[in-house]
């Protein structure tokens, strides 16, 4: 399955330039079969997701969040499958966030860990997400190489993700899974099992 792990919409992310409907249409046109919506420090309500899914049955739409740890900093953690607003109140305790996410079966991905100086602080503190973001639209080639080296050193999976903020970001970086993502929690076992491959339009 062609999957987008990191996407923002203009509904809740001020930096995004496209609406949820525009992005779903673009993803479907580009052959995506599943997407995780990961707004900045905001979660979609279940009813919102159900409504959007009803409008776009051609793609599986899952919740998530890109959490700033701590709030206002440039260390960002994707929590794929999460729609619990309690995460938003936990942003000063990265260890507790990681623990809660794992207990609930959500995949955690350290987003663009070498884009900014403080973006990978948790790694230096001995905290480990489930995976590290490799190539994305907001991560240059040097940063992507650093991410891969860190992943190899720490024995963590490295995943491509679009970090989509607008229509021109769609179809540049993604993963292809070897088995279907039928539910939000499936992505954690898929990535930890290595049942995916990183893909890029630039390749």
pTM attached to this predicted model: 0.96
Pairing label, strands 107-110, 76-80: antiparallel
pLDDT (0 to 100) of residue 203: 52
Greatest distance between any 2 Cα atoms in the chain: 43
Token pair recorded at residue 125: 């503190």
pLDDT (0 to 100) of residue 116: 84
Write the pLDDT tens digit of every residue in 172-199.
999 999 999 999 999 999 999 999 999 9
- For the cut 70, the answer to whether the pLDDT of residue 67 exceeds it is yes
- Return contacts of 102-107, CB within 8 angstroms, 24+ apart: 102/130, 105/81, 105/185, 105/188, 106/79, 106/80, 106/81, 106/82, 106/184, 106/185, 106/188, 107/78, 107/79, 107/80, 107/81, 107/131, 107/187, 107/188, 107/191, 107/192
Write the pLDDT tens digit of every residue in 105-121.
999 999 999 998 888 99
The C-alpha atoms of residue 135 and residue 148 are separated, in whole angstroms, by 9
Write the pLDDT tens digit of every residue in 8-66.
999 999 999 999 999 999 999 999 999 999 999 999 999 999 999 999 999 999 999 99
H/E element holding 7?
A: strand 2-7
Q: What is the DSSP string of 135-182?
A: SBTTB-HHHHHHHHHHHHHHT--EE----B-SGGGTTSEEEEESS---
The three-class DSSP label of residue 9 is coil
Residue 195: give its domain's CATH number: 3.20.20.140
Domain carrying residue 123: 2-200
Number of folded domains that form the chain:
1
């Amino acid at each position: 399955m062609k999957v987008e792990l990191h996407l923002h919409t203009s509904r809740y992310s001020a930096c995004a330039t496209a609406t949820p409907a525009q992005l779903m249409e673009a993803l479907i046109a580009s052959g995506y079969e599943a997407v995780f919506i990961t707004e900045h420090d905001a979660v979609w309500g279940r009813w919102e997701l159900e409504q959007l899914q009803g409008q776009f049955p051609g793609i599986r739409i899952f919740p998530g969040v890109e959490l700033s740890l701590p709030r206002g900093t440039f260390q960002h953690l994707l929590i794929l499958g999460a729609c619990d607003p309690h995460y938003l109140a936990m942003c000063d305790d990265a260890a507790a966030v990681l623990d809660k996410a794992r207990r609930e079966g959500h995949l955690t991905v350290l987003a663009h860990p070498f884009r900014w100086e403080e973006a990978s602080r948790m790694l230096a503190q001995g905290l480990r997400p489930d995976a590290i973001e490799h190539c994305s639209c907001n991560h240059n080639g040097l940063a992507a190489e650093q991410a891969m080296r860190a992943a190899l050193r720490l024995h963590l999976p490295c995943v491509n993700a679009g970090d989509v903020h607008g229509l021109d970001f769609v179809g540049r970086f993604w993963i292809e899974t070897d088995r279907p993502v039928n539910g939000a929690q499936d992505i954690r076992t898929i990535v930890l099992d290595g049942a995916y491959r990183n893909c890029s339009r630039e390749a």
